[in-house]
Structure 1
Amino acid sequence: MVCRGCCCGTKKKRPGVDHKGQLERLSGLEDHEGRQVPVRVSKCLGICFKANVVVVQPSAQGRAGGGRPVWLGEFTEDRLIDDLDDWIFEGGPGIAPVPESLEPHLTSKNAKKPKKSKLRKKAKAKKKAADADRAKRKDEARPGGKKDKKKKKAKKAKKSATAKKADKKAKK
């Protein structure tokens, strides 16, 4: 089964991958008896952060041998299709072990998107605070900035108060 829905199989999620060519190659795979391996296309398998997802179903003999579906994520390189072809030719899940080259791509339907580390979050918050502080200092330092405007306003208010006092004295 090959995911080709919302994210998988799109240039938006995985640019630089020949998705159509990859699907054609997967559709051309044969097992050790020369039978074409059926390839079903799914709209979404739900683990979009691992796009391009391929699920390898065991054959009847593989299932009898304890084989279960094997989920492979980030399936974007042509060499992976060659390795998958060799594995299926050897019998696939339940008969032949997963090749070492495919092991880093093993995932599951219940895979969870990895959470960002707390350190990364703290560093991001610290950077944001520093940027805000830098912007505040820059704004205060330039003519016409907030601090400059406040000073002018206070000076004007002081002059106005002094002028009012002078007017009162002049009237007396």
Structure 2
Amino acid sequence: MYHLDVTLTRAINGLAGGSAAFDALMIWTSRIGVPLLVLAVALRWWRGADRRHSRHVLVAAGLTFLLGLFLNQIIVHLVHRVRPYDAGVSRLLIERSADVSFPSDHATATVAIAAAFLLHGTRRMGLAFGLAALLVCFSRIYVGTHYAGDVLGGALTAVLAALLVARLYTEGTRLDRIVTGIL
């Protein structure tokens, strides 16, 4: 499995350096992708015809995002994977990270948003966020900071978090009505 992970990582990261414009796009996506997605979610708070349902989905996305990153913090204490650039697998295009490689927080954060939208019946937005998440995930491998398996692990953490939130945070409950009625 490690061999496949290294092969995929090298294949994607090996594209780096072929085009200065594409390198710049991937660096920008890697740096700003998560904040842009969070902003896109936050701005939806005041939009939509079915405001209660829309806000429920937004709260679920936020909870999924937070739960996914919390789960990652547990995982990093159990798995101490060296970054691919430190193992000689990838060439780094951005600054070095101070933490371990597995799982990718960027993948968790972006996939969490997409998964929450999809699981709560907002298919069109979920697919749009899913495409953005794929781009961010790809960029993290492209810039050399993650193995492909790190990104997959982060995505799986996000899906688990989304499933838990969908099960535990039910639309129409008293708590949901209070939270979605704010502003």
Alignment TM class, shorter chain as reference: under 0.3
TM-score computed with the length of structure 1 as normaliser: 0.23
Going by fraction, where is helix more abundant, 1 or 2? 2
Greater radius of gyration (CA) = 1
Going by fraction, where is strand more abundant, 1 or 2? 1
